[in-house]
Amino acid sequence: MTSAIEMKEIGDILPEAKNESGLKDQRSFRPGSIAEIQKAANYQPLVWYVSGNEIGIGCGNSVEDIGIILSCYVCIWSACVLFFTLLLKAAIDTDDQNTALHAFLYFAMLFFCLVGGSVYTGQLELEKIKKARAYRRAEALKAEGIDASEAEAAAE
């Protein structure tokens, strides 16, 4: 299903916008692609040359990036194992009354309440931002002398 409005590339609209780095407006200082960013930073992804063929090993990552990613995984899993070991030790030490298990339950309930409250307040914040944008848009239209209902009809 195609829409009535076709998306045009900047090179289709302004042929003079084509330059050596691809389709990009001459005034733009932002890079147009990942390859342009990597070229500017002299980034070398990890590759393996076999019989003249170049095979990407690290999904486009450099050796340094792969080392950072692996060390992050090792740290996260080490912390996870340490945390569960401490929880198991606490559960074994309080085996008679299951005090640690009750404490874990209450901490988990508190955690879920805090996460739920964060999500709820985040949604309220998004609604507040949308209302503020709509109000500013309506005020801008009023300043231009356009009625808000006419602007909505024109937008549709």
pLDDT at 2 over 50: no
Q: Which helix (H) or strand (E) holds 150?
A: helix 148-155
Indicate the Cα dihedral angle 140, 143, 144, 150, nearest 10°. Answer: 70
Sequence ranges of the domains in the chain: 98-156
Higher pLDDT, 59 or 27: 59
Residues 108, 126, 140, CA angle at the centre, nearest 5°?
170
Residue 51: phi and psi, rounded to 5, are 50, 40
Cβ neighbours, 10 Å, residue 24: 19
Angstrom distance (rounded) from CA 91 to CA 102: 10
pLDDT tens for 60-70 read 788 888 899 99
Give the chain's radius of gyration (CA, Å): 28
At 68, list the tokens: 């950072």
Buried/exposed code over 78-116 (b: 16+ C-beta within 10 A; e: otherwise): eeeeeeeeeeeeeeeeeeeeeebeeeeeeeeeeeeeeee
Averaged confidence pLDDT in the chain: 80
pLDDT at 1 over 50: no
pLDDT tens for 49-107 read 888 888 888 787 888 888 999 999 999 999 999 999 998 998 898 888 888 888 889 99
pLDDT at 40 over 80: no
Specify the 3-state DSSP secondary structure of 135. helix
pLDDT at 6 over 80: no
Angstrom distance (rounded) from CA 120 to CA 112: 12
Angstrom distance (rounded) from CA 24 to CA 27: 8
pLDDT at 21 over 60: no
At 32, list the tokens: 């147009």
Answering whether pTM is above 0.85, one says no
